[in-house]
Amino acid sequence: MASEGSEEGTERRLSSAVKIVIAGGFGVGKTTLVGSVSEVPPLRTEELITEASSEVDDLAGVEAKSTTTVALDFGRITINPELILYLFGTPGQNRFWFMWDELARGALGAVVLADTRRLDSCFPAVDFFERRGLPFVVAVNCFDTTYRYGTEEVRGALDLDPHIPVLLCDARARDSTKQVLITLMHHVMAEARLAGAH
């Protein structure tokens, strides 16, 4: 009897664990976002940008960036006692896009992090999740020195469907990042209800 209850408790715990992918272009703040909200020390796979990689990677707009994610970022946050999110940040450079399929496998939803200085760098992430039918939100990382465009301007520039949430955030701030994740979970649930109604 005790083991039966234990198994039931384990099932309940497993059912509350959700995989979320954080994607976007090179240097948009994915590593920062995961680190700002993770309740455990985040796993980072950053390496120094060398002269060799600077010839391969597009550093336009992020010339001061000295490190780059070469595999993934990983973090965890408990939204409430029934919901734990496991965050997987993708590498942003084109040469690592082959890893995205593996990182997205089993994910419930995704955050596309955008930088309005280089908005075109998030097009591949938007396309990736649209093609796979994975619910996603677009979070515009508001850098201090950047002009702040409105969410509808960003929606228009990215040609997003009206039902996809677009919000402004500060990837350095835990509360701001947490709000992005909560918005994503609401969107995922709304999409599931919509799919169930058809």
pTM for the predicted model, two decimal places: 0.78
Q: Tell me how crowded residue 149 is: count the other CB atoms within 10 A of its CB.
A: 17
Q: Is residue 65 part of a domain?
A: yes
Residue 173 counted as domain residue: yes
Q: Is residue 163 part of a domain?
A: yes
Domain that holds residue 130: 17-197
Q: Is residue 180 part of a domain?
A: yes
27: domain CATH number is 3.40.50.300
Sheet holding 73-80, edge to edge: 73-80, 83-89, 17-24, 109-114, 136-141, 166-169
pLDDT, one tens digit per residue, over 74-132 is 899 988 888 899 999 988 665 556 678 888 899 999 999 999 988 998 999 999 999 99
Query: Is residue 188, in this structure, part of any structural domain at all?
Result: yes
Q: How many domains would you assign to the chain? A: 1
Angle at 158 between CA 152 and CA 163, to 5 degrees: 60
Instruction: Evaluate whether residue 6 is within a structural domain.
Output: no
Is 2 within a domain? no
22-75 pLDDT per residue, tens: 999 888 899 899 999 999 877 655 544 445 445 544 555 555 444 454 457 889
